Chains A and B, each alone.
Chain A
Amino acid sequence: MKGTPSTFKSSSGSQKFEIHGFYRQGYLDGPWRPFVRVAVALPRFSVVRQVDMLVDSGADITTLQPQDSLLLLEEPQFSQLSEQHKVQGIGGLTNFFREDAAIGLLLPDGRTCWVPIVIDIAEPSSPLGIPSTLGNDIMQFGVTNLDAVHRTVKVELWLTRPLVTPS
């Protein structure tokens, strides 16, 4: 399975969770991009699914693009999200909805470690085909290693009070 995580305990009581990601081409003969596979839960709507997220160290917030959000939410549910706000990217301003969410790391023993965040959900009417992204709201908890030569990705998160659910 891609994105195999593992976990360690430190003497300070915090736990280290590792996600091992992968590189993928966005198009034939295109550049290789770093990804991790995580679970995204939107508790208010009682939904969860796996999402491959592009590791974006320049982004403040983790985002969901329409190809993922439309499989989590039905279109009428977008009207129940927060008011749209504009987010500045290098490509310009984009409209997003903000929602309480959790990013889940599947552990080798079948349990899942969850990190609560506020996620930005792209307005779905004009999908661009770009991937959902993992931002610094997650990566701030640890160390991210991108090895483009060997095409390996490792995100280490040190969590003091992790929420871990059973398999």
Chain B
Amino acid sequence: MESMDEFTQKLKSIANQSNLRESAAVFERSRSFIDSNREELLKRCPDCWVAVYKEQVLATDKELQNLINTIRKSGKRLEHIAVELLTSERNPIHL
């Protein structure tokens, strides 16, 4: 376990290097595309994981790990990409 000071220094370093504002703007575009096109995406690939970069579908796959591998090979910045399971099942969540 690292000290709180070390933790804070690492956190500051990450924050300084990550350009969170830009990432947030791009992630919003990616995420909004899924929300706005959920029905169409579900028709194209029911019960699949979907990865979106801006307004572009990067990959779809039944297996999340396969999808992640495709995303990593794409060279796109991971923090810009939105991922979700598109399911036709009407399962309520019990957390």
Interface residues of A (CB under 8 A from B): 1-2, 24-31, 33, 37, 39, 41, 43-44, 46-50, 52, 54, 56, 58-59, 66-68, 70-72, 74-75, 89-91, 100, 102, 104, 106, 110, 112, 114, 116, 124, 127, 129-131, 133, 163, 165-167
Contact = CB atoms under 8 A, between A and B. Distances in A.
- B interface secondary structure, majority: helix
Q: Which residue, of A29, A67, A75, has the highest number of chain B Cβ atoms within 10 A?
A: A67
16 contacts: A30-B90, A43-B11, A52-B31, A54-B95, A56-B95, A66-B64, A70-B65, A71-B83, A75-B65, A89-B94, A100-B1, A106-B21, A116-B11, A129-B87, A165-B11, A165-B15
Contacts of A130: 93, 95
Band of interface residues on B: 35 or more
Contact of B14 (A29, A43, A166): A43
Interface in B72-95: 72, 78-79, 81, 83-85, 87-95
A24 B35 contact: yes
A166 B83 contact: no
Contact of B49 (A67, A68, A116): A67
Contacts of A48: 14-15, 18, 20, 79
A127 B85 contact: yes
A27 B89 contact: yes
Nearest to B39: A28
A46 B21 CA distance: 17
B58 to A, nearest CB: 12
A114 B87 contact: no
Contact of B85 (A52, A129, A163): A129
B68 interface: yes
B87 to A, nearest CB: 6
Given A48-B15, A91-B95, 14 more contacts: A26-B93, A28-B39, A37-B24, A39-B24, A43-B7, A48-B20, A49-B27, A75-B65, A91-B94, A114-B15, A124-B64, A133-B95, A165-B11, A166-B16
Contacts of B24: 1, 37, 39, 50, 106
